[in-house]
């Protein structure tokens, strides 16, 4: 189904559910294994706790109480195991997202030294690499801009108006294009 956007154009709704196939399948398999393991524990508990000898000569109330206790124990243990599993797995999703969000916020303020490395096994490793590459490009552009500004200041101090105009034009054109390319011989600073 298509949803209109604010310009009146139709937007196609994405119906692909496996966007990051390896990550999503790994996450789903772990949850499936935990749920299956808890189900197996339930079957074992029923098998051993609801034995015909145990129920021989017992009243319906006693049988109901035993079954209720087995069910309560099953749902308590199952709930705790499922909660712990989802919490641990979600940490592998949320932790990297938090690291990248903080890094992007720092980059917006001009601080390119923030951490962008993830732990082994964390999800979103590809996105973190792209952000590290982008950070390197931003550092190079900032360094080039700062070098041009320093050269502009020297030109102004020396009274070299023609070179100053050329440098201002280079800054304006670079800013309008979204980037300032370093000139030959300009270095870049290292990033973490």
pLDDT in tens, 42-65: 888 777 776 777 667 778 888 788
pTM: 0.57
Tell me the C-alpha distance between 150 and 158, whole Å: 12
The domain ranges of the chain are 1-123, 125-192
Alpha-carbon separation of residue 147 from 109, 112, 137, 143, 190 (angstroms): 19, 17, 15, 6, 15
CB 182 within 8 A of CB 144: yes
Q: Choose between 168 and 190: higher pLDDT.
A: 168
| DSSP 8-state symbol, 6 | T
CA-to-CA distance for 153 and 150, rounded, in angstroms? 5
The rounded percent of the chain whose pLDDT value lies above 70 is: 80
With a cut of 80, say whether residue 177 has pLDDT above it: no
The pLDDT of residue 133 is: 92
Helical spans, DSSP H, in the chain: 21-49, 52-55, 60-108, 125-158, 161-177
Distances from the Cα of 53 to the Cα of 56, 65, 153, angstroms: 5, 16, 96
What was the pLDDT predicted at 188? 47
CB 46 within 8 A of CB 70: yes
What average pLDDT does the chain have? 80
pLDDT recorded at residue 150: 92
Q: What pLDDT score does 192 carry?
A: 53
Token pair 């020297």 in the structure block, residue:
154
**Between these two residues, 88 and 178, which has the higher pLDDT value?**
88
Q: How confident is the model at residue 85 (pLDDT cuts 50, 70, 90)?
A: confident
Q: For residues 51 and 45, is the Cβ–Cβ distance under 8 A? A: no
Exposed, middle or buried by CB within 10 Å (0-12, 13-18, 19+), for 135?
Answer: buried
Taken in order 48, 51, 53, 54, the sign of the CA dihedral is positive
The answer on pLDDT for 132 being more than 80 is yes
Mean pLDDT within 95-124? 87
Amino acid 1: pLDDT: 47
């Amino acid at each position: 189904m298509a949803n209109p956007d604010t310009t009146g154009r139709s937007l196609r709704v994405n119906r692909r559910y496996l966007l990051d196939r390896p990550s999503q399948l790994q996450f789903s398999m772990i949850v499936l294994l935990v749920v299956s393991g808890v189900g197996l524990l339930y079957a074992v508990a029923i098998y051993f706790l609801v034995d015909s000898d145990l129920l021989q000569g017992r009243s319906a109330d006693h049988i109901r109480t035993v079954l209720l206790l087995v069910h309560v124990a099953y749902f308590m243990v199952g709930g705790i195991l499922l909660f712990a599993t989802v919490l641990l797995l979600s940490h592998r999703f949320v932790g990297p997202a938090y690291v990248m969000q903080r890094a992007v916020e720092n980059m917006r303020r001009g601080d390119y030294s923030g951490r962008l490395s993830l732990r082994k096994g964390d999800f979103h490793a590809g996105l973190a690499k792209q952000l590290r590459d982008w950070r390197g490009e931003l550092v190079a552009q900032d360094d080039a801009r700062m070098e041009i500004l320093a050269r502009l200041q020297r030109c102004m101090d020396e009274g070299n108006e023609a070179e100053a105009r050329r440098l201002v034009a280079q800054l304006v054109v670079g800013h309008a294009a979204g980037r300032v390319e370093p000139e030959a011989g300009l270095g870049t600073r290292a990033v973490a």
